[in-house]
Amino acid sequence: MPEPPGHPGFSPPPPPGSEDSYFPTDDDHLAAPSGGSFSLPGNMSLGCNIEVGSSQAKKRGIHLYCSLFTGDKGDPGVEGPPGEQGPQGDAGLPGPVGVRGLPGIAGSTGTPGQKGEKGDIGLQGTPGKEGQKGEEGPEGEYGQDGPCSPAIQSAFSALLDNVYPMPGSPVAFTRVLYNMQGNYNPDMGIYTAPINGTYVFSYSVVAFSRLLKVGMFLNFRPVIKSTEPTDLATASQLVVLHLSMGDRVWIQVKDTFTNGMYASSESSSSFSGFLLHPDSCDLPLFRDFTPPMEGEYRWDDEETPTTPEPTVSVPPE
């Protein structure tokens, strides 16, 4: 029996009288009267006419003539069970790149790596702007006194009051300008060194009316001399001497013919000196009295004092 349209194996019935007429078998159960119809699955129905025992047939047979009718679409059937999973298909083509995602949460800090090798020195950067002045710091502590602190001092300066002093003795500059330590004796005109050290002495005297020959003496020996023949002219000198404690220095004229030393309210004659630096920072033990001067005042016996040779320490080999 032909299957309805839409089913596998179905083919339309042959026209009447063709040799391909359908012959029912015992398996066909088409219990339908001649000219009747029966229902098929779906929305189809089949109407047939059957002729039996035609004289034109070469053998006994049944000729079946059917017409296919299509009815209205029926209601959907009940959903069948899911089928078995089919085999995996082929890999598809790569899809387009998606939009960049948001940054992820920062991970935990990893363990520090090993210290690398020292790199090359970089180029010097440009100097930065000058910063603001900082606050003033606290006052520091006082440091220790330096060598030869001002505890050892000696200086004097005095002016002449009497004109034309007597020769053969020190000239007394009696008007004292400075003599804080008392190492200058204004009555005698003599300065006494309080300590071994380097000293600076000077004099500036005015000549008037007669020739002036004047000199500076150290322990009865002339150190430096000046001659001034011009009225109201000034003779002056400045020297640096090394003295030992107790050495004496003064000013002296040659004789009565060359003692034209002068002083007035408009012209001054002076004698000054001071300790430049001591040889030692230790204070000396002063004597209770000044020893008497022993010697003879001379003008012509000149002996230039010498500075002691410096001590040079040679490092051991």
Is 65 part of any domain? yes
313 assigned to some structural domain: no
User: Tokens 């129905």 label which residue?
Assistant: 45
Residues 64 and 160 in one domain: no
Gyration radius (Cα) of the chain, Å: 74
Judged by average pLDDT, the poorest of 129-133, 236-240, 292-296 is 292-296
Structural domain containing residue 24: 1-73
Amino acid at 127: P
49 within a domain of the structure (yes/no):
yes
Q: What is the mean pLDDT of residues 189-195?
A: 95
Q: Who wins on pLDDT, 259 or 61?
A: 259
Report the relative pairing of strands 62-70 and 197-218 from DSSP bridges.
Answer: unpaired
pLDDT in tens, 99-122: 888 888 888 888 888 888 888 888
Residue pair 248/241 in contact (Cβ under 8 Å)? The answer is no
Last residue of a domain, one of 73, 90, 123: 73
pLDDT at 130 over 80: yes
Band of the pLDDT at 241, cuts 50, 70, 90? very high
From CA 179, how far away is CA 287, in angstroms rounded? 19
Task: Decide which of 29, 50, 73 is a domain's last residue.
Answer: 73
Q: Average of pLDDT values for 76-90?
A: 89
Domain-ending residue, one of 278, 294, 309: 278
Angle at 59 between CA 57 and CA 62, to 5 degrees: 65
pLDDT tier for residue 3 given thresholds of 50, 70 and 90: very low
The answer to whether residue 306 is domain-embedded is no
Number of domains into which the chain is organized: 2
Q: Give the β-pairing of 62-70 and 270-278.
A: unpaired
| pLDDT tens per residue, range 28-53 | 444 444 444 445 555 555 566 666 55
Question: Look-up: residue for tokens 């300066």?
Answer: 157
Q: Are residues 178 and 270 in the same domain?
A: yes
Q: Is residue 87 part of a domain?
A: no
In a domain, 201, yes or no: yes
Tell me the CATH number at 261: 2.60.120.40
Beta-carbon contacts of 313 under 8 Å, excluding residues fewer than 6 positions away, are: none
Q: Are residues 274 and 165 in the same domain?
A: yes
> Which one is predicted more confidently, 183 or 312?
183
In a domain, 316, yes or no: no
